């Protein structure tokens, strides 16, 4: 158990739960970031900027750190 | 009377709806690799088979209940218009998350036609889609299309023509729509049955480019360098063209117009030659620069670089109360402030949106760019000019961000937002040219109406009641106490007043006021202004009110007269104070 914010770079994990604001949760679901999907943090922007996240293998998106802190993921052991 | 038969294009942001719309209609809706560019409805009548239909390009929607203003525009249209067909445009690479929208619409009984766009990209990524199976299960036609390459567009036309045969159009009852989340399980099942993915996707070229473009240290300098290269290239390629056109205009004046009008009354000669012709020809010589600038801009817009810029700048932007999207709007404002202001509709939080709207009028738009190109070329050396120009762009950004920082209030912008980072795409000549030509055409339309009217008016103001005591002189005298402390000569006052209406008029007005055009105007200005005065004039022109159209858009988008008035007062005040500080301190330092 970890949050998306704390997930080390380039480590794949499964999303367990989203406690983000309702609007954002809906938007993220439409972008494919929902319970059960695979996520990887590709990089973090400077000045405490957003995270670049790959969702499954089809979408890349940016998400602010304050919101990534509300997404729980299960970190798998990297193969 | 046959009522219009409507066909709407719907889909998530950045699935290529506008590109497809252009393919189908031959129109030139603006396209960019940036989610949420279409904020207004673009419509076009098209002949499909033997029947006319009106095709409508809707702003992107993630589902049927989104709350941002651009999404509401789409929802309102869907709820109010009887549709002959609803073309759902999906990104073929992202079906795992886009099929829910189809299921949601299908449940409402809409006559659907599903387009799997970007099928060329899907093919390249090794994704195989069983379109026949999907069509059977969804109970509607499913077509693989690449709007960029034009693949499958003819088949789509035929299918759309068939939909027109259906007797009754359908109006959607959006209130009955089940939440998108209800469809997710079915979406995944559909996807698993009909889409084959390669087991692991190789890190594509996008990842390799991102490594440098988004590099923590090199990323931002690289972005600034890219923009600088764009200006430099515009200069290098455009200036010879501009000179050529200028020479052509002067030659035509001397060889044809002067002899032709030699026996006309002096008044008519004055208006036509010194007024309209000098003014308009000075302005028109900028057409090649406009064309080039926007063709190059289209390359950057189509590539997906702007979304990366939003990523890099969001941390900084959040500190001044904006977000990464605000930065991209500013970049778009570099083209024209009006569409950038409309683009703020993707921002949901009204405070955040208003703050972004306050910053956009400071974005150095193409109309102001003309003035600066002319003045920098006239007063600075070839090697200095690009630096002066880049400096002006930096000032434009700093003033915009500073404004946000000062007026942000106590609230830190924390609007929840997530933005897609689309894969990089190469520009198409077609789109580059469409963009450049589109801007050029609206510029020429301006030149033929507003600018002609403007320069004629300026000519009257400078020649009546008589040349030595004209209205322009009176205006100049009245404005002198305000303009002298910031180093702007009073003869520029009239140009600034007309710049309030449209910046495109300023150069034409200067040509009329000084009674010179083209190269002679440049020489006249070089003789009457030193570097500091020119910089102060450009600084003032950059910051004071952009143009009437921008003010009108601010009013329309904010739905508040007070907000629009406040925005104008703020920019006028700021322009004067900054120029005063700059000019007086520079004079003090350099004597």
Find out whether B26 is annotated in a ligand binding site: yes
pLDDT of residue B28: 66
Helix-then-strand count for chain A, H and E: 2, 6
Find out whether B14 is annotated in a ligand binding site: yes
Contact A9, A41 (CB under 8 A): yes
As a 3-state breakdown, chain B gives helix, strand, coil percent values, each rounded to 5, of 65, 10, 25
Residue B271: pLDDT band with limits 50, 70, 90 = confident
Find out whether B342 is annotated in a ligand binding site: no
The pLDDT of residue B20 is above 90: yes
**How far does A11 lie from chain B, in Å, by closest CA?**
15
Residue B1: pLDDT band with limits 50, 70, 90 = very low
Q: Which of B508, B4, B418, B234 is nearest to A34 (CA)?
A: B418
Q: Work out the average pLDDT over B236-242.
A: 84
Q: Work out the average pLDDT over B406-417.
A: 72
pLDDT tens digits for B474-485?
Answer: 888 888 888 889
pLDDT of residue B86: 94
| Among B149-158, B291-300, B411-420, B507-516, the range of highest mean pLDDT | B149-158
**Domain positions in chain B:** 6-196, 220-409+428-590
Cβ contact, residue pair A58, B318, below 8 Å: no
Cβ contact, residue pair A57, B214, below 8 Å: no
CA B124 to chain centre: 31
Q: Work out the average pLDDT over B233-258.
A: 86
Q: Work out the average pLDDT over B23-51.
A: 74
Query: Minimal Cα distance from A63: which residue of B?
Result: B418
Contact B414, A65 (CB under 8 A): no
**How far does B181 lie from chain A, in Å, by closest CA?**
8
Does B130 lie at the interface with A, CB-CB under 8 angstroms?
no
What stretch of H or E contains A15? strand A13-18
Q: Work out the average pLDDT over B246-273.
A: 86
Cβ contact, residue pair A45, B93, below 8 Å: no
Average pLDDT, chain B: 85
Give the nearest partner residue to A58 out of B63, B65, B96, using CB atoms: B96
B91-105, B502-516, B552-566: range with lowest mean pLDDT: B502-516
Give the nearest partner residue to B418 out of A49, A58, A63, using CB atoms: A63
Cβ contact, residue pair A52, B214, below 8 Å: yes
Residue B14: pLDDT band with limits 50, 70, 90 = confident
CATH architecture of B6-196: 3-Layer(aba) Sandwich (3.40)
Give the nearest partner residue to B214 out of A23, A33, A43, using CB atoms: A43
* Residues 6+ positions from B94 with CB-CB distance below 8 Å: A32, A58, A59, B12, B15
Cβ contact, residue pair B314, A50, below 8 Å: yes
Helix ranges (DSSP H) in B172-286:
184-194, 205-213, 219-252, 258-261, 266-269, 278-284
- B457 vs A10, residue with greater confidence: A10
Cβ contact, residue pair A31, B97, below 8 Å: yes
pLDDT of residue B361: 95
Q: Which domains does chain A have, with CATH numbers?
A: 2-75 (2.30.30.90)
Cβ contact, residue pair A49, B312, below 8 Å: yes
The pLDDT of residue A75 is above 80: no
The pLDDT of residue B141 is above 80: yes
What would you report as the CA-atom Rg of chain A, rounded to the nearest whole angstrom?
A: 11
Does A64 lie at the interface with B, CB-CB under 8 angstroms?
yes
Tallying the residues shown for chain A, one arrives at 79
């Amino acid at each position: 158990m970890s949050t998306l914010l704390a997930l080390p770079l380039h480590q794949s994990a499964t999303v367990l739960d989203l406690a983000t604001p309702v609007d954002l949760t809906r938007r993220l679901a439409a972008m494919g970031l929902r319970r059960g999907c695979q996520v990887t943090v590709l990089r973090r922007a400077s000045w405490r900027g957003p995270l670049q996240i790959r969702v499954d293998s089809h979408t890349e998106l940016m998400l602010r750190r304050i919101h990534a802190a509300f997404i729980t993921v299960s970190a798998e052991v990297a193969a | 009377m046959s009522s219009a038969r409507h066909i709407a294009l719907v889909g998530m942001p950045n699935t290529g709806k506008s590109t497809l719309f252009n393919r189908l209609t031959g129109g030139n809706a603006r396209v960019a690799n940036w989610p949420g560019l279409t904020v207004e409805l673009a419509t076009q009548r098209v002949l499909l088979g033997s029947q006319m239909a009106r095709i409508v390009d809707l702003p992107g929607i993630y589902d049927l209940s989104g709350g941002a203003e651009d999404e509401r525009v789409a929802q309102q249209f869907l709820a109010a218009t009887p549709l002959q067909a609803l073309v759902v445009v999906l990104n073929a690479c992202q079906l795992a998350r886009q099929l829910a929208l189809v299921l949601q619409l299908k449940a409402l009984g809409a006559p659907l036609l599903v387009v799997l766009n970007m099928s060329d990209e899907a093919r390249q990524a090794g994704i195989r889609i069983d379109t026949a199976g999907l069509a059977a299960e969804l109970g509607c036609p499913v077509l693989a299309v690449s709007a960029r390459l034009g693949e499958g567009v003819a088949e789509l036309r035929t299918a759309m023509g068939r939909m027109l045969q259906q007797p009754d159009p359908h109006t959607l009852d959006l209130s009955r729509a089940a939440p998108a989340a209800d469809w997710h399980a079915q979406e995944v099942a559909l996807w698993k049955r009909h889409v084959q993915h390669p087991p692991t996707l190789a890190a594509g070229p996008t990842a390799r480019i991102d490594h440098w473009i988004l590099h923590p240290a090199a990323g931002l300098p690289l972005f600034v360098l890219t923009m600088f290269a764009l200006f430099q290239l515009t200069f290098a390629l455009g200036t010879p063209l501009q000179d050529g056109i200028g020479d052509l205009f002067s030659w035509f004046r001397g060889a044809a117009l002067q002899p032709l009008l030699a026996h006309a009354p002096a008044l008519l000669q004055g208006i036509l030659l010194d007024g309209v012709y000098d003014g308009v020809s000075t302005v028109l010589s900028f057409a090649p620069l406009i064309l080039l600038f926007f063709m190059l801009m289209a390359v950057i817009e189509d590539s997906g670089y702007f979304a990366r810029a939003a990523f890099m700048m969001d941390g900084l932007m959040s500190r001044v109360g904006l977000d990464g999207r605000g930065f991209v709007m500013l970049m778009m404002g570099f083209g024209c402030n009006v569409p950038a202001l409309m683009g703020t509709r993707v921002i949901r939080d009204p405070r955040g949106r208003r703050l972004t709207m306050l910053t956009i009028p400071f974005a150095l738009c193409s109309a102001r760019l003309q003035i600066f190109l002319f003045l920098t070329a006239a007063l600075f050396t070839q090697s200095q000019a690009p630096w002066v120009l880049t400096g002006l762009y930096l000032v434009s950004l700093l003033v915009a961000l500073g404004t946000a920082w000062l007026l942000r209030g106590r609230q830190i912008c924390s609007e929840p937002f997530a933005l897609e980072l689309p894969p990089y795409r190469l520009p198409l000549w077609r789109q580059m040219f469409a963009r450049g030509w589109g801007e050029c055409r609206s510029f020429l339309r301006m030149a033929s109406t507003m600018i002609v009217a403007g320069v004629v008016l300026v000519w009257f103001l400078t020649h009546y009641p008589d040349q030595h005591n004209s209205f322009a002189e009176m205006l100049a005298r009245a404005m002198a106490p305000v303009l002298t402390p910031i180093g702007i000569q009073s003869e520029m006052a009239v140009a600034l007043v007309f710049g309030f209406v449209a910046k495109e008029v300023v150069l034409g007005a200067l040509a009329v006021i000084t009674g010179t055009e083209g190269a002679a105007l440049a020489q006249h200005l070089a003789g009457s202004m030193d570097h500091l005065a020119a910089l102060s004039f450009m600084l003032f022109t950059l910051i004071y009110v952009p143009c009437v159209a921008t003010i009108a858009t601010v009013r329309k988008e904010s739905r508040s007269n007070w907000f629009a008035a406040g925005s104008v007062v703020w920019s006028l005040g700021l322009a004067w104070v900054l120029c005063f500080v700059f000019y007086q301190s520079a004079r003090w330092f350099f004597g």
